[in-house]
Amino acid sequence: MTTGRLIVIGGDAAGMSAASKVRREQPQREIVVFERSPHTSYSACGMPYFIAGLIDSADKLVARSPEKFRDKFNIDAWVQHEVLTIDPSTQRLLVRNLINGSETLEAYDQLLIATGAQAIFPPLPGNEADGIFSLSTLASGIKVYEFMDKELPRSAVVVGGGYIGLEMAEALVRQGLQVSLIEKGEQVMGTLDPDMGMLVSEALREIGVTLYLNESLTDYETSNNKVTGVVTDQRTLPADLVIVGLGTRPNTGLAKEAGLLLGEKGSIRVNPRQQSSVPNIWAAGDCAESFHLISRKPFHVALGTVANKQGNVAGINLSGGYATFPGVVGTAVSKICKYEVARTGLTERELTALGLQYTTATTKTKTRAGYYPGAGWIMVKLLAEQGTGRLLGGQIVGLEGAAKRIDVLATALTAGMTVQQIVDLDLSYAPPFSPVWDPVQTAARQLVG
């Protein structure tokens, strides 16, 4: 695995992390990257802030351009090149140049598939109408921005109340649009328990988003192939712009056709070194399977942190080192206007599905000493295993300074700590930063009793 031509399919977080790692370890190795979109190494997570106008150019979301990879890192990075097929028996790829339509066969000794994830669109006839977008690649984010710049939409409907949906709802409010959001669940942010998600729903209403909960997209209204409305199972909402934020699925059509074993949600099954079921083919990032340390099961999540870690692990192994992906504990964080939202571990629903018994505590305290200027509320919910007291999950909603506290819980989860051990932690305290008992400890104290 350590010599010969390395081809990477996909030029974002996982693919370029791997390619860069191999380059550092093997200055002479031939490394070729094919990326379907026009961009490499961009921050997909940054798109809502670009659309919100907080970042003045999409270029700023690009960490490294193809030119930089070529010139500075000697990585042969081709954008707008789509890999059409993988033939594991001959170790060749059929690659199309999307600019001129030409096709070539490319031989690999080692192949890393890092094709990411794609937005889920419900199969509706109006899908192709102008004004309906998802956000997955940077190119898709730029399309939304350009559409808004040109068409000056006044009303928007966001479909789906997950991270991207909520961040986009805020972005559109910031740009002055009337924003509605439809969510089929009883609360937005279905990755939290409903009691915590409710706080996020309130936050959205506060900034002027009209929420339609327990409501599903059924159709679009269009006129001259432009979207004019969103039809739900309960009403029709006018819309000049629709953002579909129903999550993503692993982009694994190529891998499936090549005979690779797939796992959770259709992601590529890999061993802990990121090797697929087919010799000399590796996978990393949003297209690859992960492992959940708390549920102890295969898991799929499309997140930049995981993509970078898996890419780095693949790069180490592809260049003769040894590394394994450590798994995840389900950590995620988001900012919705002034509200910070974070989670780690498992939710009540997830625990119940696993047959685990748990106790919970939810405490509302302050982000700083109560008397210190800027102290805001923070709600912490902890879930601990019945009997053992072992932490199983944590959720945080609150004002400035709230969210990053989830990292203490993520670390404690990884270490298998009990809530008593969290109470016992020597966490930092000074009035500008925390009450004397950190909010995560106050919640843990309640569980200890």
User: Which residues are designated catalytic?
Assistant: 45
Q: Based on CB atoms, which residue is closest to its own copies, 54 or 99?
A: 54
Is there binding between residue 432 and its own copies (CB under 8 A)?
Answer: yes
Selected from 70, 376, 407, 446, the binder of its own copies by CB under 8 A is: 407
Cβ at position 371, least distance to its own copies in Å:
4
Q: Binding of its own copies at residue 434 (CB under 8 A)?
A: yes
Residues near 151 by Cβ (< 8 Å), separated by ≥ 6?
Answer: 131, 240, 241
Q: Which residues contact 41 (CB under 8 A, 6 or more apart)?
A: 11, 12, 13, 16, 62, 63, 64, 65, 69
Report, in Å, the least distance between residue 171 CB and its own copies. Answer: 12
* Residue 123 near residue 129, CB atoms below 8 Å: no
Q: Does 347 bind its own copies (CB under 8 A)?
A: no
Q: CB 327 → its own copies: shortest distance, Å?
A: 8
**Length of the chain in residues, anyone?**
449
Beta bridge partners of 381: 362, 395
Look up residue 401 and give its two tokens: 């300074």
CA distances from 380 to 149, 274, 352, 398 (A): 40, 35, 20, 8
Owner of token pair 């309640």: 446
346 in Cβ contact with 392 (< 8 Å): yes
d(CA 137, CA 416): 36
User: Minimum Å distance from CB 290 to its own copies?
Assistant: 10
> Candidates 3-11, 150-158, 267-275, 370-378 — which segment interacts with its own copies by CB under 8 A?
370-378
> Can you tell me which of 18, 31, 61, 351 binds its own copies, judged by CB under 8 A?
61
State which of residues 148, 438, 442, 444 lies at the interface with its own copies (CB under 8 A). 438
Query: Cβ–Cβ contacts within 10 Å for residue 139, how many?
Result: 14
Residues of span 156-175 touching its own copies by CB under 8 A: 163
- Of 128 and 424, the one with the shorter C-beta distance to its own copies is 424
Q: Distance (Å, rounded) from C-alpha 410 to C-alpha 416?
A: 10
Q: How many angstroms separate the CA atoms of 422 and 303, rounded?
A: 27
Residue of 81, 335, 366, 390 that binds its own copies (CB under 8 A) = 335
Q: Which positions from 6 through 25 interact with its own copies, judged by CB under 8 A? A: 13
User: Among 117, 157, 278, 403, which residue sits at the site for its own copies (rule: CB under 8 A)?
Assistant: 403
* By CB under 8 A, residue 431 contacts its own copies: yes
The residue (of 194 and 304) whose beta carbon lies closer to its own copies is: 304
Euclidean distance between CA atoms 383 and 59, whole angstroms: 41
User: Residues in the site for its own copies, rule: CB under 8 A?
Assistant: 13, 43, 45-46, 49, 54-55, 60-61, 163, 293, 303-306, 308-309, 326-335, 340, 342, 344, 369, 371-373, 401, 403-408, 410-412, 414-415, 417, 421, 424-434, 436-438
